[in-house]
Amino acid sequence: METKRILLIVSGGIAAYKSLELVRLIKRQGIAVRAVMTQSATEFVTPLSMGVMTEDQVYGDMFDLKEEREIGHIQLSRQADLIVICPATANILAKMAAGIADDLATTILLATDKPVLAVPAMNVRMWQHAATQRNLAQLRADGVTIMEPDSGAMACGEFGPGRLPEPPAIAERICAMLGHSFDSTLTAGRAPTTLEAQPDFADITHRPLFGKRVLVTAGPTHEAIDPVRYIANRSSGRQGFAIAAAAAEMGAEVTLIAGPVHLVTPPGVIRIDVETALEMQSEVEKALPSDVAIMVAAVADWRATEAPDQKIKKDGKGIPPLTLTENPDILASLAQHKNRPGLLIGFAAETEKIIEHAQAKLAKKGCDWIVANDVSGDVMGGANNAFHIVNKDGVESWPDSPKDVIARKLMERVAHALAQG
């Protein structure tokens, strides 16, 4: 049987993060996916993450010379069996209805001769506005299939129709439009976790951390041996920055205390740069109180007892002694602090006996959760991660996924825990 192909157009909105899960579900059905992202969509989901999920180039620039030499927007509009816009914002729906083609996504939509499925997601007032309803009527008349949005809590705090349907429901509609048999056993690939089995799990809002203070540490620390050399580790800071970004997107007031990394500060995040473990401990205490603290940083276990002001020189008399002293345990001290966060989460980067070491660390540190991961491969500095959440209730394991997807899922888990008290 010939492989069915869809072209997924992702427009800008907080629901864009669900497009990654949709890609995963569609590919599990044996359907190939190619993605186009609008400029605003890249503010919510990175093209790198989308490229990892689709295993293909991600398109976004109308004026990519190589592609446009080959009339790329025409080829993209004709090569797929179905074009899906998910999420479809009020803005892109309005452009479609008016026949506007001012970027790659809308140019493809105007040039296509293939079926089009639009999956709207927007604020309830925008959905109910006369202009949006008029645009939807025009699109239906033009032959565009509109998948009705779900009702529920909005990212802005309002309630009503406008929420993006859950990815499995969207995947099923896509299969139906392609005449492709839908296998519901492939939508999850695993049994639902205890959290996901909760009746109200699907009703967690996209902005459920509004009003909460979240503290995140990220990256390595550098402990000086002399003015030139230092003790460090391979942490890139990417996972911690992704967690800070997800928390901010979900409405939290986020303080990010970062070791020496070269990463862009996520929008809406207060960033404090430090170098050493002692500096990080000091800034963590200054950032209290907080509702949640997520200690992602890979803090060096030791520092040099003495760090001279001048470079240590080789003198032909052998290796000079290096005396080490133990750095403070920031996580353990935070667990005993008078302003202890309501939810305290530590990270455990391990190379063996991952869960066993995490359980021991949970008991020793006095925190609420330990998030453990195997760093024996290329996790440190890589684009993906896989987690085991260890707490008093047991172990919850998540499969290897892009770090921003893992971050969003973790923060949804945090939001649910806070809501349960």
The 10s digit of each residue's pLDDT in 52-79 is 888 888 888 755 535 444 445 677 877 8
Residue 89 structure tokens: 């914002």
User: Is 10 in contact with 37 (CB distance < 8 Å)?
Assistant: yes
Give pLDDT, residue 383.
67
Distance from C-alpha of 405 to C-alpha of 413, rounded to nearest angstrom: 12
Catalytic entry in 86, 156, 175, 367: 156
**DSSP code of residue 319:** P
Give which of 302, 309, 306 is closest to 321, Cα–Cα. Answer: 306
CA angle 17, 18, 20 (to 5 degrees): 80
Residue type, 211: G
**Centroid of chain to Cα 276:** 27
409 is an annotated ligand-binding site residue: no
Collapsed DSSP state (helix, strand, coil) of residue 360: helix
Residue type, 290: S
Determine what percent of the chain is predicted with pLDDT higher than 90.
50
Residue 66 structure tokens: 């190589």
Bond before 289 cis per omega within 30 degrees? yes
User: Is 26 in contact with 6 (CB distance < 8 Å)?
Assistant: yes
329 is an annotated ligand-binding site residue: yes
311 is an annotated ligand-binding site residue: yes
Residue type, 27: K
113 is an annotated ligand-binding site residue: no
Residue given tokens 């569609």 in the structure block = 26
Distance from C-alpha of 47 to C-alpha of 292, rounded to nearest angstrom: 29
Residue 248 has pLDDT above 60, yes or no: yes
Angle of helix 90-98 relative to helix 130-141, nearest 10 degrees, comes to 50
330 is an annotated ligand-binding site residue: yes
The pLDDT tens digits for 90-112 are: 999 999 999 999 999 999 999 89
pTM: 0.53
Give pLDDT, residue 303.
93
Residue type, 53: M
Structural domains in the chain, sorted by start: 5-189 (3.40.50.1950), 203-301+323-420 (3.40.50.10300)
Distance from C-alpha of 406 to C-alpha of 408, rounded to nearest angstrom: 6
Residue 266 has pLDDT above 50, yes or no: yes
393 is an annotated ligand-binding site residue: no
Bigger pLDDT: 107 vs 158: 107
Give pLDDT, residue 153.
64
156 catalytic residue (yes or no):
yes
User: Is 373 in contact with 357 (CB distance < 8 Å)?
Assistant: no
User: Is 56 in contact with 125 (CB distance < 8 Å)?
Assistant: no
167 is an annotated ligand-binding site residue: no
Residue 401 has pLDDT above 50, yes or no: yes
CA angle 252, 46, 36 (to 5 degrees): 130
